[in-house]
Amino acid sequence: MSDPLQIFLLALLSMANPTLLAAVTVMLLMPSPRRLMLGYLFGAYITSIASGILILHALHGSAALETSEQGISPGQDFVIGALLLIVAAALGEGRGRDWRERRAARKAAKEEGKEKKDPLPMRMLGRGSARVAFAIGIVLSFPGGSYLLGLTHIDRLEASAAEGVVLVVAFCLVQLLLLELPLLGYFFAPQRTEAAVASFRGWLAENGRRNGARLAAVLGVLLIIRGVAFLL
């Protein structure tokens, strides 16, 4: 497989980021998701593009970047992906019913402390501030395994400095499509996008368990595909 194709594939696989997916879901459930997603996106651009350019230029042609690929083990993706598929199967077949009932009982007893158990960035996103979303986008968008591996392949292309910057920016644009596509919808088809978001909220509320199973299955498959891509 050629390096350009691998770079594009890794950029697509980097969208399978549980943190980004959770953040997008939280923002879509807020009263003004467009402001939140726009703030988060700008913060994510700053961190991902700047850090990618710095890493690419700092390690250009060095052994450190070449060996970074060896430090990323696809075994973790396979194991986590398989576990997620098992979780999806259990949820889909109702085998986790007893566990869910016990958890629901505990949750009802501690309903007042529910918000405190959520991750801090998600609680902050829930406040509905675009500035907070911008700051969280900065903090949560540092390069992950797929991005670092993508930088390895970009370096192998032996492109010029300007071409390297363009490739880094393109990679970041692809990996943040989960944020960019809804925002494009808000700008170019606001009514249809609002209707789609409202439908998503209703669907999420009515099919919580099935949605969890589907989400686990999708993430599991994507992680396994990413592990396979690391071996190519």
Question: In the chain, where are the structural domains located?
Answer: 3-231
Contacts for 226 with CB less than 8 Å, ≥ 6 apart: 10, 13, 16, 74, 77, 146
Distance of alpha carbon 197 from its chain centroid, rounded? Answer: 19
Answer whether residue 62 shows pLDDT above 60.
Answer: no
How far apart CA 41 and CA 58 sit, in angstroms, is: 25
Report the percent of the chain where pLDDT is more than 70: 60
How far apart CA 50 and CA 37 sit, in angstroms, is: 19
The pLDDT tens digits of the residues spanning 153-170 come to 888 888 888 999 999 999
- pLDDT value, residue 172: 95
148 — pLDDT class (breaks 50, 70, 90): confident
The pLDDT tens digits of the residues spanning 80-96 come to 667 567 656 765 655 44
Report which of residues 91 and 41 the model is more confident about. 41
Rounded to 5 degrees, φ, ψ at 213 are: -65, -45
* Element spanning 17, H or E: none
